[in-house]
Amino acid sequence: MSSIDHILEQAVAGNRISVEDCVRLYESDQIEKMGHAANLIMLKHHPDPITTFVIGRNVNYTNICDVYCRFCAFYRAPGSKEGYVLSDETIFQKIQETLDVRGTEILMQGGTNPDLPFTYYTNLLREIKKRFNITMHSFSPAEIMKMKEVSGGLTLEEVIRELHAAGLDSLPGGGAEILDDRTRRKISRLKGSWRDWMDVMETAHRIGMHSTATMVIGFGETFEERALHLLRVRDGQDLCIANGWNTPGFLAFISWTFQPDNTNMKGEKQTPEAYLKNLAISRIMLDNIPNFQSSWVTMGPEVGKQSLHYGCNDFGSTMIEENVVSAAGTTHKVNISSTLQLIREAGKIPATRNTKYEILHVFDDVNAKVEHDFVMQN
């Protein structure tokens, strides 16, 4: 029996794997075995053959950013003629359009715009909640850190509490990239340390909010740095569970690969196999996170289908806008009908869910027409 077999057997039996074991998996090319183990672990969390997705919209409210990540093709520097901040009316219209197609979630994300005061966010959230019944799964840790900076002396906890009180329901885990400072210094020096990212998440969990965690591979990080990323997410979730905070903490984990086109960073595009391997290893390592999202927006629908056999139980969001990824040259258009089709082709039953991963509607009748279909716009 090879040591890879032993590591996988241990993981499937419910025993935690170490950073060293995790590195061994990255060094191995036995991807199918890892996928099989990841699938068995996924089935423990989700025994039914259902793959969920959420109908949501990504609203990129501003592209002005003073963090200048080297891999980002979306941002414009403060003062740029191409910089924008969407008007409140435009944002409201996008939310209404989302509700019109039975959407339940708004993923508002933008640059870290130094010209927006903290009251911009709290007022906007209040106005949104006054008008709409929609879940705000918005603002990644880098934006929260910027809000703290412009807030005039509020603590991180006070910032997150005020946002939560104004209507922020959940935090997306964007900007984790690789949670290790050597890589972060190389690719996004001004974005803060891995500890900053985790502090935002742990603070949100402590006050009862839930969130997601992400990972992006392909920046030249070592296998050990990838393993440390996973360990830090697992530890963050352990902390939440051990303290009995009133939240599921990290509800989901989402990984994808760096897309080098149109960015200031050269790099080799990661293969679909590298994505699937990372996905399987993540599912194996992160025994305390229930949901794994497929990244079909970045990896394409076919790899998306395969990912459902490598540990994913969720097909992410049928996003209407995805400017950050599409600015780097990768946009895969998928509407609700094709989302259903892809999930079925993978041998699963599609179902819509909300941001808490509670199932809303199971599409178990293959002949039923989709009443509210829509086509993505970019």
Mark 204-223 with x for binding to ligand SF4 (rule: CB under 6 A) and - for no binding: --------------------
Residue 263 binding ligand SF4, by CB under 6 A? no
Tell the smallest beta-carbon distance from residue 80 to ligand SF4 (Å).
12
User: Alpha-carbon distance 69 to 16, whole Å?
Assistant: 34
User: Alpha-carbon distance 301 to 306, whole Å?
Assistant: 9
User: Torsion angle, CA of 172/178/180/184, rounded to 10 degrees?
Assistant: -90
| Helix (DSSP H) and strand (DSSP E) numbers for the chain | 15, 11
* Pair 174, 144: CB distance under 8 Å: no
- Quick one: 242 exposed, middle or buried, by C-beta within 10 A (0-12, 13-18, 19+)? exposed
Alpha helices in the chain (DSSP H): 3-12, 19-27, 31-45, 88-100, 118-131, 141-150, 156-166, 181-187, 194-206, 223-243, 272-285, 296-299, 301-307, 323-327, 336-345
Q: Which of 138, 188, 211, 257 binds ligand SF4 (CB under 6 A)?
A: 188
Tell the smallest beta-carbon distance from residue 99 to ligand SF4 (Å).
26
- Near ligand SF4 in 72-91, by CB under 6 A: 72, 74-75
* Maximum Cα–Cα distance across the chain: 62
Q: Quote the tokens at residue 70.
A: 């080297």
Tell the smallest beta-carbon distance from residue 65 to ligand SF4 (Å).
3
Mark 117-156 with x for binding to ligand SF4 (rule: CB under 6 A) and - for no binding: -------------------------x--------------
Number of residues that bind ligand SF4 (CB under 6 A): 12
Residue 22 marked in a binding site: no
Residue 325 binding ligand SF4, by CB under 6 A? no
User: Alpha-carbon distance 38 to 215, whole Å?
Assistant: 17
Q: Which of 68, 92, 120, 132 binds ligand SF4 (CB under 6 A)?
A: 68
Residue 312 marked in a binding site: no
Tell the smallest beta-carbon distance from residue 206 to ligand SF4 (Å).
24
Residue 67 binding ligand SF4, by CB under 6 A? yes
Tell me which residue of 312, 315, 276, 313 sits closest to 297, measured CA to CA: 315
> CB-wise, 36 or 76, nearer to ligand SF4?
76
> CB-wise, 243 or 262, nearer to ligand SF4?
262
Which positions lie near ligand SF4, rule CB under 6 A?
Answer: 65, 67-69, 72, 74-75, 111-112, 142, 188, 191
Binding residues: 65, 69, 72
Specify binding-site residues for [4Fe-4S] cluster: 65, 69, 72
